[in-house]
Amino acid sequence: SMNIPVNLFMWVLACLPIIVLLVLMIKFQWGATDAAPVGLAITVFTGIVFYKADLKVIVSEGSKGIWNALTILIIVWTAVLLYQVGNETRAFFVIRDGMRKLLPNELLLVLAMGWIFESFLQGITGFGVPVAVGAPLLIGIGVKPMWAVIIPLLGQSWGNTFGTLAAAWDALAMSAGLSAGSKEYLITAFWTALFIWFWNMIIGMTICWFYGKGKAIRKGFLAVVLLSVIQGGGELLLTQVNTTIACFVPACISLIAILLLGRLPAFRKEWSVEDSRVMERGKDTQETEEKPEGMTLLHAFVPYILLSVIALVVLLVEPVHTLLSKVQIGFSFPETVTGYGYVNEAVESFSPWTPFTHASMFLFVSAVIGMIYYKKKGWIQKGGIGRIFVRAVSMTMPSGMAIIGLVIMSKIMAGTGQTEVLANGIAGVLGKVYVILSPFIGLLGSFMTGSNMSSNILFAGFQSTTANLLNVDPSIVLGAQSSGGSIGSAISPSNIVLGTTTANILGSEGKVLRKIIVITVPAALMIGVFVLALTSL
């Protein structure tokens, strides 16, 4: 149906907003709040002038973007609210000291709070929650703010496809027309999980490397391998049984495993790398007296335990889930067509928001019950609840502009056909070598939209069509698409903004991106080379 000319000029135009975004953020150290409007302006301009989109297309896609951004912003606000509850009650000091006692080995502590706990949160909630919640917890155990954003971004990313109870995986299956339980479905799940396992292992090793280079890798090697076998290997096995819990169950087991590892002779003694670049040294002496009277580690984790229980009950108990997902809010959009005949079909209810089964609901309820509980216990002073709400709003406002701009940009790129030209151009020029770049298309989708699910919706159909055209096994290429999407979630600006917001370093997104992109791009390339080898056999 697409008559858009796919030539170098049109392709470069489609790339332009993304390139500008990357250059402004990485090279010129702009924050996402400043860079997003520039990317958006370019997208709108090329959409109207060169992709023949009329105002109706721009307004319609822009409105869809605003709606999507609002559902993300509700998550940001509720995650920040949960953080502010811990902040007001000073629970983070309790968590820091309690976790240090449980895991005296500092490397294991960083892995637990930056990789394992994030994987657990990603298994049930997703949507950037692990980054928003994880950053302040890491700062609590003495990690520098910038690293407290980088580590959870990596830590949660492997869980992106089968996490959130496999929302992104279901989107992939739907977009590529794989029927649940069929042979193609299981084989695709197998390849996806295998590539993700490889990425999971890289994450563990990278966090060790960040913490203490070679010394930390030697110390943590066996622990990382074991945890990765539980997480990546467990997920691989479970995809063949039940994709919904394929990430969540192994993530839970790894949480227990790391606490047991802390009991082993190798990790029982205090151990740290003194000159670790990720840790703030010599700051924690003056903060010890600030701990709230009588609060134990279990008390401090109450909101997070609530979060897990509520999410599990709502998402896994069928009758509860069915009842609560009856309430849906979505808007209808008319069909729009560009001058090139690129059609955006009419939708009855676009991206319906189900408030009672949405991650924001779990966060909100946990935060509120947490507040009531802490108030009863006397850990929230007079006026504290008001302060929590005010701070949550003021902390969310600045990141709001960045997220709205980025999401609208990705919607307009997709709706004007620029996204498809990007992907088609890559496939057209490269022929069979294209499979090397198949993970990059997934990565690009996640980078632009902030979600592996959206990446799969955007590109899964395209990837399987291209694979069939090139006579390569579509299940391997789809596996590369979704594992690339997982990797891309670590560098998505809207996810980075979540972390920099709760770590209180909004504006340093470029620095964070620069540190992570040097890991994600080579990892995606390695998967691509692997895919080429597999499909050439």
DSSP 385-435: HHHHHHHHHHHHHHHHHHHHHHHHHHHHHHHTTHHHHHHHHHHHHHGGGHH
Closest CA relative to residue 478, chosen from 156, 240, 185, 165? 185
Contact predicate 74/399, CB 8 Å = no
End-to-end CA distance of the chain: 34
Give one word for 351, left, alpha or beta, with left for phi > 0 and alpha for psi -120 to 50. Answer: left
Alpha helices (H) in 229-247, listed in sequence order: 234-239
Cα(373)–Cα(85) distance, integer angstroms: 11
Q: What contacts 24+ positions apart, CB below 8 Å, involve 312-320?
A: 312/124, 314/356, 314/357, 314/361, 314/362, 315/124, 315/165, 315/357, 316/165, 316/245
Cα(303)–Cα(323) distance, integer angstroms: 24
Cα(109)–Cα(137) distance, integer angstroms: 11
SS (H, E, C) 498-530: HHHHHCCCCCCHHHHHHHHHHHHHHHHHHHHHH
Cα(241)–Cα(236) distance, integer angstroms: 10
Vertex 486: Cα angle to 482 and 487 (nearest 5): 120
| Backbone angles phi and psi of 468, in degrees to 5 | -65, -40
Contact predicate 95/104, CB 8 Å = no
Contact predicate 310/366, CB 8 Å = yes
Contact predicate 171/460, CB 8 Å = yes
b/e 252-272 (16+ beta carbons within 10 angstroms → b): bebbebbeebbeeeebeeebb
Which distant-in-sequence residues (6+ apart) come within 8 Å of 67 by Cβ?
Answer: 331, 350, 351, 353
Closest CA relative to residue 25, chosen from 39, 46, 41? 39
DSSP 120-173: HHHHHT-TTHHHHHHHHHHHHTTB-HHHHHHHHHHHHHGGGTTHHHHHHHHHHH
Closest CA relative to residue 65, chosen from 440, 416, 462, 395? 416
Helices then strands, each counted (H, E), the chain:
24, 4
Q: Which two tokens stand for residue 520?
A: 């994600």
Give pLDDT < 50 ranges for the chain: 285-286
- pLDDT for residue 92: 84
Cα(349)–Cα(347) distance, integer angstroms: 6
Cα(111)–Cα(92) distance, integer angstroms: 17
- pLDDT for residue 429: 81
Contact predicate 432/472, CB 8 Å = yes
Q: Which two tokens stand for residue 493?
A: 């600006």
- Confidence (pTM): 0.89
Contact predicate 152/130, CB 8 Å = yes
Closest CA relative to residue 498, chosen from 488, 509, 487? 509
Residue type, 70: L
- pLDDT for residue 285: 47
CA atoms within 13 A of residue 459's CA, in its CB half-sphere: 39
